[in-house]
């Protein structure tokens, strides 16, 4: 399978991944996943209202149960990197050349935008700290109005808006160039350049290889996880949580409006939209199995990495949204700065209290949390590109790694792709959530294929010993959840942008020309030996034959039918 090398036998060998970490290393690399709550906690609150805490809770429970399937299939391939999509592709390649690379591709374009989205939020936090936009109710605005208000006509709200505009630092409105393309805009503004610097910093750390990355992330992770626990626990201890903020449990009548709705079709659509976008964050700890070929002992480390990462995420994805909603309440969660994400760090700091100094410290730690999630994403997505290239799904140039065992060409590809996305994400909230929704379409497709690969591997290679074997009912439940996730996508993608679903499906289809180029132009219609070894798991000699018959094709057809039916039935 993938070429690997024990560090004790010469880790300087170029072109090989190094077995240099145990499960705790992968745990720390995956510790950036809880920070993904910062990406969409505001958007989900603004879309689902008082259901928000329940959305997060249900979503992380689904993700935790699904992870047991991924832990099993990862154990079948101790010499592969790249994560669950790589292991799932090995099940589908026996039935379709095109479905297997679809899994890998969709996992990559789901994870990769974490870099651009995270950098755009972190840049907004930094700009808020260095050049804050004054609050309409702040003393600066009151003083400006006392001096200039008499010369301005209009309502009090108009005068306050004029004061805020006059007092806003010029850098917050500056842009070198801005334009619109279809449903999104892009802007080379101050946030873009700050975000680009952050992205390059992460690249420099990742260049040192997985062991160096894990060591750095351990300390950043400790620095970040502790304040997130503080944000989740302190409001409960200090009595700041208002229990009336959790009822009635009904959807909003419309997104970003405080009026309660009902459990009708539009209400269900908003709720499913929340489940759709939450999955992008809560399922993410499956990245802990991206590093199987870099574990010293894959048979033991693989399950421990994903299990303990899952427990950490269970705690924080339930606790933080719960206290966030309990303190802010519905009206607080619908504040535009919360919905677009730029004011989330400040709001969390206020939840804890302690004055301006404590608030500044917590905002800085939230920026570190975002950097941690960006590091997690680059580590995982670059290895997906690397392994996809080694296995014959993606162009050959991505197979290169440097002397530290870092897949640098894949990392450069990630970086270039995300600099483009960063310009879009920094333009406005609509463009930000468009990227998020499109990337999550890829993530749902990946999860659908990989949850079903669990039972495919059981049918075709059930005789192969597994370091960890999930209970059969978990494998079956995962197959059911695969279709539940498709409902989330079909019903919920339109909540974030009317064309998000179709843009996501179109992006997924881009793998067809990419794979055809690699397979027929670069490889002459033949798979590399690593892919043939996927069909020989176990003793390495016996070819695993197709035993599932028409079931895989029936599953794909059923998935498309469920997707289209959900999109047709659920409407805003």
Token digits of residue 426: 């920094």
Q: Whole-number mean pLDDT of the chain?
A: 82
Confidence at residue 560, expressed as pLDDT on a 0 to 100 scale: 97
User: Would you say residue 405 has pLDDT above 70?
Assistant: no
Rounded Cα distance between 351 and 510, Å, is 44
pTM, entire model? 0.86
Confidence at residue 14, expressed as pLDDT on a 0 to 100 scale: 43
Confidence at residue 192, expressed as pLDDT on a 0 to 100 scale: 94
The strand pairing partners of 185, in sequence order, are: 180
Report CA 151 to chain centroid distance, whole Å. Answer: 49
Domain residue limits, the chain: 24-133+168-569
Q: What is the DSSP secondary structure assignment for residue 510, as one 8-state letter?
A: T
CATH class of the 24-133+168-569 domain in this structure:
mainly alpha
pLDDT digits (tens, 9 = 90+) for 331-363: 888 888 788 777 787 788 888 876 777 777 877
Average pLDDT in the 359-375 region?
A: 78
DSSP string covering 441-470, please?
HHHHHHHHHHHHHHHHHHHHHTTS--SS--
Average pLDDT in the 443-453 region?
A: 95
Higher pLDDT, 382 or 22: 382
For residue 336, give Cα distances in angstroms to 55, 257, 342: 20, 11, 9
Cis check: omega of the bond before 43, within 30 degrees of 0: no
Q: What is the DSSP secondary structure assignment for residue 260, as one 8-state letter?
A: B
Confidence at residue 536, expressed as pLDDT on a 0 to 100 scale: 52
User: Would you say residue 279 has pLDDT above 80?
Assistant: yes
Report which secondary-structure segment, H or E, holds 6.
Answer: strand 4-6
Confidence at residue 17, expressed as pLDDT on a 0 to 100 scale: 47
Higher pLDDT, 555 or 354: 555
Confidence at residue 11, expressed as pLDDT on a 0 to 100 scale: 37
Q: Are 259 and 252 in contact (CB under 8 A)?
A: yes
**Strand 17-19 to 4-6 pairing:** parallel
Give the helix ranges, DSSP H, for 30-138: 37-48, 52-75, 84-92, 99-111, 114-130
Those residues whose C-beta lies under 8 Å from the C-beta of residue 56, and which sit 6 or more positions away, are 37, 41, 44, 278, 282, 317, 318, 321, 322
Closest CA to 104 of 534, 548, 554, 522: 534
Cis check: omega of the bond before 137, within 30 degrees of 0: no
Those residues whose C-beta lies under 8 Å from the C-beta of residue 324, and which sit 6 or more positions away, are 41, 45, 53, 231, 333, 347, 348, 351
pLDDT band per the 50, 70, 90 thresholds, residue 516:
very high
What is the chain's length? 572
Percent of the chain with pLDDT over 90: 32
Rounded Cα distance between 249 and 48, Å, is 10
Confidence at residue 26, expressed as pLDDT on a 0 to 100 scale: 65
pLDDT band per the 50, 70, 90 thresholds, residue 160:
confident
Percent of the chain with pLDDT over 70: 85
pLDDT digits (tens, 9 = 90+) for 193-223: 999 998 888 777 765 545 555 566 667 777 7
Segment of 111-120, 274-283, 291-300, 458-467 carrying the highest mean pLDDT: 274-283
Average pLDDT in the 186-195 region?
A: 92
What value does the CA radius of gyration of the chain take, rounded to a whole number of Å?
A: 24
Rounded Cα distance between 383 and 100, Å, is 17
Higher pLDDT, 517 or 256: 517
pLDDT digits (tens, 9 = 90+) for 56-106: 999 999 999 998 898 888 877 766 655 667 788 888 988 888 898 998 899
pLDDT digits (tens, 9 = 90+) for 449-503: 999 999 999 998 888 888 888 899 999 999 999 999 999 999 999 999 999 999 9
User: Would you say residue 538 has pLDDT above 50?
Assistant: no
Higher pLDDT, 473 or 27: 473
Residue owning tokens 């659509």 = 269
């Amino acid at each position: 399978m993938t070429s690997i090398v024990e560090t004790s036998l010469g880790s300087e060998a170029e072109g090989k991944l190094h077995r240099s970490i145990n499960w705790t290393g992968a745990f720390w690399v995956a510790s950036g996943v809880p920070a993904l709550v910062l990406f969409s906690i505001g958007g989900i609150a603004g879309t689902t209202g008082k259901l928000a805490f329940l959305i997060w809770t249900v979503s992380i429970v689904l993700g935790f149960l699904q992870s047991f399937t991924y832990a099993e299939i990862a154990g079948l391939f101790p010499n592969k990197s790249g994560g669950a999509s790589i292991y799932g592709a090995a099940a589908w390649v026996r039935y379709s050349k095109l479905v297997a690379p679809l899994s890998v591709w969709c996992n990559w374009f789901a994870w990769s935008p974490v870099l651009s989205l995270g950098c755009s939020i972190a840049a907004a936090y930094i700009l808020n700290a260095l050049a804050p936009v004054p609050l309409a109710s702040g003393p600066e605005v009151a003083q400006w109005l006392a001096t200039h208000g008499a010369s301005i006509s209009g309502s009090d709200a108009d005068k306050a808006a004029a004061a805020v505009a006059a007092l806003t630092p010029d850098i917050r409105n500056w842009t070198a160039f801005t334009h619109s393309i279809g449903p999104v805009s892009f802007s080379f503004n101050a946030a873009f350049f700050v975000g680009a610097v952050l992205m390059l910093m992460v690249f420099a750390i990742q260049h040192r290889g997985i062991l160096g990355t894990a060591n750095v992330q351990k300390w950043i992770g400790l620095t970040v996880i502790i304040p997130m626990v503080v944000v989740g626990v302190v409001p409960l201890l200090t009595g700041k949580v208002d229990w009336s903020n959790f009822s009635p449990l009904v959807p909003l009548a419309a997104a970003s409006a405080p009026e309660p709705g009902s459990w009708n079709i539009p209400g269900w659509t908003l709720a499913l939209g929340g489940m759709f976008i939450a999955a992008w964050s809560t399922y993410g700890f499956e990245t802990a199995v991206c590093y199987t070929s870099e574990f010293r002992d894959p048979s033991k480390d693989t399950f421990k990495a994903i299990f303990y990462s899952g427990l950490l995420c269970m705690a924080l994805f339930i606790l933080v949204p719960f206290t966030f909603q309990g303190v802010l309440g519905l009206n607080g969660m619908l504040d535009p700065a919360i919905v677009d994400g730029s004011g989330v760090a400040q709001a969390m700091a206020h939840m804890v209290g302690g004055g301006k100094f404590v608030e500044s410290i917590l905002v800085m730690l939230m920026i570190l949390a975002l950097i941690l999630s960006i590091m997690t994403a680059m580590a995982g997505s670059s290895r997906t590109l690397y392994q996809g290239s080694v296995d014959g799904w993606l162009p050959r140039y991505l197979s290169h790694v440097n002397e530290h065992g870092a897949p640098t060409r894949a990392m450069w590809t990630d970086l270039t792709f995300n600099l483009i996305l960063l310009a879009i994400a920094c333009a406005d909230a609509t463009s930000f959530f468009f990227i998020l929704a499109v990337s999550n379409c890829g993530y749902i497709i990946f999860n659908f294929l990989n949850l079903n690969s669990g039972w495919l591997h059981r049918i075709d290679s059930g005789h192969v010993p597994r370091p960890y074997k999930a209970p059969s009912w978990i494998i079956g439940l995962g197959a059911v959840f695969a279709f539940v996730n498709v409902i989330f996508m079909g019903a919920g993608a339109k909540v974030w942008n009317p064309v998000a679903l179709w843009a996501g499906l179109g992006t997924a289809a881009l793998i067809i020309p990419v794979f055809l180029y690699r397979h027929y132009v670069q490889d002459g219609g033949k798979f590399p030996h690593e892919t043939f070894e996927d069909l020989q798991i176990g003793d390495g000699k016996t070819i695993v034959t197709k035993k599932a018959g028409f079931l895989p094709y029936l599953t794909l057809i059923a998935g498309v039918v469920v997707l289209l039916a959900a999109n047709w039935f659920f409407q805003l």
